[in-house]
A and B are shown apart, each in its own frame.
Chain A
Amino acid sequence: MRVNRKSIARAALAAWLLLCGASVQASAWGLAQLMEQLATVESRRVGYSEVRHIELLGMPLQSSGELIYRAPDYLKKTTVQGGEGSYEIDGELLRNDAGGERREVPLDSHPALAAFVASFRATLAGDLATLQRYYRVTLEGTAEAWRLGLEPTESTMAMVVRRVVIKGSGKRLLQVETLEAGDDRSVMTIRGESD
C-alpha cells in the first residue's frame, strides 16, 4: 500500500505537471509573442483594396493599390485605382505626391497624425511600446486568426479616430478597419504578398 500510495502520488504529480505544461503552452501566444513575430518581417509588398463609407458621400469610395513596408519605419501606399497618388512615410516625414504636386509634412507637427500613422506602422514593426503610447491595445483570437484592437488614449486623436481593428494570421495582416468620427468607417483588405 505504501508503494501504491507513492506511485499514486507520483502519478498525480506527473498529471499536474502535464496540466501545467499544457497551460503554459496555451498562454505562450499573446501580445508580446505576436509583436515579436511581426518584428521578424524585414519587408513587405502587398496589394490592397479599400472601401470607405463617408456620410458626406452618397456612395462608398473604393480604391486599390499597393503597400510597401521596410522595417522599421518606411511605409508607402500607392493608390492605383480611385484617386491616384502616393503617400510615403519615411521616419518622421510624410511625403505626398498627388497630381504632380509634392507636399512634405513632418509627422511631429501633428500629434494626431503621428498617432494615426503609428496604428499601422508600429503594428507592422511589432513595436508594442509605440502602440501603447497612443492606444489601449487589446488582442483576441489565436495565432492563426487574431484581432488587434487599438483605442486612442489621446483626445485629439480620439476626435478623429474612435477605434482601429487589425485582423491577421500568423505574421500576415489581412484587414485594417478604421472606425472614424461620426459614423464613417473604412475597411482595407490586404491581398497576399505579391513580389
Chain B
Amino acid sequence: MPLLWLALLAAGLVVITTTLRLSTDLGQFLPRQANSEQQLVLDELREGASARLLLLAIGGGDERQLAELSHALAEALEQSGDFLRVVNGPQSLPEAERQRWFDYRYLLHDSSGEFDPLSLRRALTARLRELTSPLAPFAKQYLADDPLAAFRHWLQQWQDKQVPGEAHGAWFTADGRALLFAETRAAGFDLDAQERLIKRVQESFAALPGAEGAALQLSGAGVLAVVSRDTIRSESQWLSLGAALAVALILLLVYRSPRLWLLSTLPLLSAVIAALALTSLAFGTVHGITLAFGITLLGVAIDYPIHLFSHLQRGVSPQHSMQRIWPTLRLGVISTAAGYLAMIATGLDGLVQLGVFTIIGLLAAAAATRWLLPHLLPEPRSAQGYAGEAPRRCGIPRPVRLVVVVLPLALAVAYLSLSEAPLWEDDVAALSPVPRELRQQDQQLRDALPVGDLNHLLLISGDSAEAVLQQQERLAPALAALQGEGRIGSYRMAASWLPSRQLQQQRRQRLPAGDALRHALADGQLGLPFRDGAFAPFLAAVERSRQLEPLTPGMIEGTLLGARIAPLLFQRAGRWWGMVRLGGVVEDGRWLEAWSVEQSLPGLRYLNLRATASAMVNGFRDAALGHLAWGGLLIAMLLWWGLRSWRRALQALLPVAAAIAIAVAVLHLLGERLSLFHLTALLLVLGIGIDYSLFFSRIEGQGASAHALRVCAISTLSVFGILALSSLPVLHATGLTVLLGVAASYGLAWLLAAQHDRPVRKTIKN
C-alpha cells in the first residue's frame, strides 16, 4: 500500500511539474453574465486600452522641481519605447501628425455652407482681427492654407473639458503632486510584463537628477494587479508557514511523537498533490487564488489523521481502529465534499475550479488516512492510547442543553432578520485583494486625470466601425442638446474626432469646384486688405480635398489620434462597439435609460457600470444562496442515509446550523459585510461542524472521539485565527468566519454529545 501511494505521489508530482500553469486573472472570480453587453464593456475595460494606463504621481518638492521631474520622466519613458504614449500635461498633437491630419481638415470638420462669398467674408474679417492681436504670429500660421480655420476648430475638440491643474507645463493634483499617465504597449493583464515596466519606471525615476527628495507613486489597473498578486503570494506564504508551525506544535504537544506528527502531514500532502495535479489536468491552468485558498480549505484534512491517532489503543491494530471510525469519518468526508458541490454549481470559473480542487483534495486525504496511515502507525505505548481519561459528562439535563443550542440559533436569526444594517457587501471593489488605501489612491489619480468618467456610458454596436460611427453621428444632435440643457456636462465619442466615411464623403461632395470657389473668394475678399492671390494655397487645398479618400480607423492606428479613439471604438465578439462617455451627468443618470430608449436608435444602450457590477454581484449571490440551500438539502439526505435516522441526522445538523447562524450574526455585529468569501468559509464550517457532530454522537470510543475533537478544534482555531490576521479580504473573511463558526460548532456539538446521554451503560460496565 505505501508503495502504491508513493507511485501515485510521484505521478502527481510529474503531472504538476510538467503541466502546472498558474493564472492570476481575477476576473475568473468575479461574477459574469456570459455574452451580455455589460460583460463586454467590463472585459474591454479590464483588458483594453484603459487597462494599459499606468498612472504616476510625483510628490515631495516645490512645483517647479516637480514639473521638471515630470518632464524628465516623461521624456525618459517616451524614449524607452515601452509605451504607446506618455502624457504629463496638456497635450498638443505632435507636429508630424498635425501635418498629416491637416490635409483632411475639410473632411474631418464640417465646413459646409462656409464657401459662399458672404461666409468667406465673415471668416476673413475674423482672421484679420486675429492678425491685430498679440498672438498674430500664431494666428497667421495657417491663414493662407485655411482661412476658414477648420483645422483649428477640429483641434479644439482635442482639449479636454475636465483637466487637472497645471503649472510649468505639467499636470498637478489638487494636493500638489505632478501627475502623468503612460499607456504601456504590453497588455494590462500581462502581469509579468507590467511588473517589468513598473520596475523600469521606478529605475528611470530614481536615475533622474533631483529625484532624491521626491517620491514617485504608481497606480493603474496593471499596478494594482501586480500588487495583488504579490500580496496574495507573500501573505499566503507567511500565513501557511505560521499555520503549519502552529499545527506542528499542537500535534507534538498532544501526541509527544515526532513520528506521528510527520505521519499527520501525509494526508494533507496527498490532498494537495492530488488536487493540484488533477485540477491542472482538468482545467489547463490553476488560479493563484485556488491554490492559496484551496490549500486553506484543505486544512480540514489535518483532522482526519487526528481522529485516527486519538482512537489508537494498545493491543488493537491501527487497521482495526481505523475500521471502527471509518463509517463516521466517511460520512463526514462525503457530506463535507457535498457542500463543495454547491460551489461547482455556481458555474463561476474560479469557484468551479476551487470546488473541484477541494473535493479532490478531501477525498485524497481521506483515502490516505484510511488506506495508508494504518500501515505506518505504531501501537501507542500507553494502555489508554493517546486519548487518556474518558471525558467527564456534564450534569445538565438534555432538554436544557437542547434549549441552550436552539436559543442562540433563534436569537441570531431574529437579530439578523430585524437588523437594518445591510448584511451583504454590494461593492465589488471590496472583494479585491488590493489594500483599500491603494484603491483609493488609484481612484484619486483617476479622478484627477482626463481619463474620463467610466460610470455612465452609452454603448452603440454595429457590424462595422463605419456603422457605429454613423449611429454616433445620428445621436450627436441629441447629445449636444443635452449638453446645452446642462443635463450632461460633456460627452466623448469617436465620431467627434473621426467622422464616418459616409459623412466625410458627403462633405467632400459639397466642396466647391475650383472656379466657383475662386470667384466666391474674390467676392468675399473685396475691400479687405488681403493681397490678391494670398489664398492660393487654400484654393489648392480645397481642390486636393475633393480627391481625398476619407480617413478611416485603420489609417490612424499607431498615432496619438488613434490612441485617443481606441478605447472609444473597438471590436469584440465579432462586432464593433462605440462607447460614448458621459461626464457631469445630473441626477446620477436615472433618466438616461428612458432617454436612450426614446432615441429609437438600433444598437443603442445606456449602461451604468457601477450599478451593473453591483447587480451582477447581487444576482450571483442570490443564485449562490440557492445552490447552498440545495447543498444543505443534499447533506441532510446523506446524513439520513448514513445514520439511518432522521432524528440523528437532525441532531447532527442542529449544532452546525446554530453555529453558522451565530457566526453570521457575530460577523454582522462586528461590522463585516458578507461576501462570496464568507459564504465559501461557511461551507467549510458546515463540513467541520458536521464532523464534530458525527464524532460527538458516536457511542463507542467516546473518550477517544472527544480527545480527537479537542485536538481538531484547537488546531483549526489556531490556523484560522492566523488567517484572520491577513490583510487580504479573502483570507481575513475566511479566517474570521471559520474561527467563529468552528468555535460555536464545537461548543454546541459538545453540548449535544452522546457522552452526556449514556451514563447508565458506563456505570453498569464499571
- Chain A positions within 8 Å of B134 at CB level: 77, 87
CB-CB contacts of B326-352 with A at 8 A, as 1s and 0s? 000000000000000000000000000
- Complex formed: what's the CA distance from A114 to B168 in Å? 10
CB distance from B542 to the nearest CB of A (A): 17
- Chain B positions within 8 Å of A156 at CB level: 95
- Chain B positions within 8 Å of A178 at CB level: 137
CB distance from B80 to the nearest CB of A (A): 22
- Chain B positions within 8 Å of A98 at CB level: 129, 133
Nearest residue (CB) in A for B95 is A156
Asked if A56 and B132 sit within 8 Å, CB to CB, the answer is no
Asked if B129 and A111 sit within 8 Å, CB to CB, the answer is no
The A interface, classified by DSSP as helix, strand, loop or mixed, is: mixed
CB of A83 within 8 Å of the partner chain: yes
CB of B135 within 8 Å of the partner chain: yes
Asked if A110 and B92 sit within 8 Å, CB to CB, the answer is yes
CB of B138 within 8 Å of the partner chain: yes
Asked if B530 and A113 sit within 8 Å, CB to CB, the answer is no
On chain A, the number of residues with a Cβ less than 8 Å from chain B's Cβ atoms is: 37
CB of A85 within 8 Å of the partner chain: yes
Asked if A82 and B132 sit within 8 Å, CB to CB, the answer is yes
Q: Find the residue from B95, B134, B168 having the highest chain A CB count within 10 A.
A: B134
- Chain B positions within 8 Å of A36 at CB level: none
Asked if A116 and B131 sit within 8 Å, CB to CB, the answer is no
- Complex formed: what's the CA distance from A61 to B90 in Å? 33
CB of A54 within 8 Å of the partner chain: yes
Asked if B159 and A160 sit within 8 Å, CB to CB, the answer is no
- Complex formed: what's the CA distance from A178 to B599 in Å? 54
Asked if B140 and A54 sit within 8 Å, CB to CB, the answer is yes
- Chain A positions within 8 Å of B150 at CB level: none
- B91, B131, B137: the one contacting A61 at CB < 8 Å is B131
CB of B407 within 8 Å of the partner chain: no
- Complex formed: what's the CA distance from A79 to B131 in Å? 12
CB of B36 within 8 Å of the partner chain: no
- Complex formed: what's the CA distance from A58 to B546 in Å? 30
- Complex formed: what's the CA distance from A75 to B167 in Å? 18
The B interface, classified by DSSP as helix, strand, loop or mixed, is: loop
Asked if A106 and B90 sit within 8 Å, CB to CB, the answer is yes
- Complex formed: what's the CA distance from A114 to B136 in Å? 14
A83-B166 contact, Cβ under 8 Å, with A54-B140, A113-B138: no
Asked if B529 and A85 sit within 8 Å, CB to CB, the answer is no
- Chain A positions within 8 Å of B167 at CB level: 92, 108
- A58, A83, A111, A180: the one contacting B531 at CB < 8 Å is A58
- Complex formed: what's the CA distance from A161 to B91 in Å? 22
- Chain B positions within 8 Å of A57 at CB level: 131, 529-531, 534
CB distance from B130 to the nearest CB of A (A): 8
A108-B90 contact, Cβ under 8 Å, with A61-B529, A114-B169: yes
For this complex, 14 residue pairs linking A to B, each with C-beta atoms less than 8 Å apart, are A56-B531, A57-B131, A58-B530, A58-B531, A79-B133, A83-B129, A87-B133, A87-B135, A99-B129, A108-B170, A111-B169, A113-B135, A180-B136, A180-B137
Interface residues of A (CB under 8 A from B): 50, 52, 54-59, 61, 63, 77, 79, 82-83, 85, 87, 92, 96, 98-99, 106, 108-114, 116, 156, 160-161, 178, 180-181, 184, 186
Instruction: Taking A52-B131, A57-B531, A160-B137 as given, write out 13 further A-B residue pairs in contact, using a Cβ cutoff of 8 Å, ordered by the A residue number.
Output: A54-B136, A57-B534, A63-B132, A83-B133, A87-B134, A92-B167, A108-B169, A108-B170, A113-B138, A156-B95, A160-B141, A181-B141, A186-B136
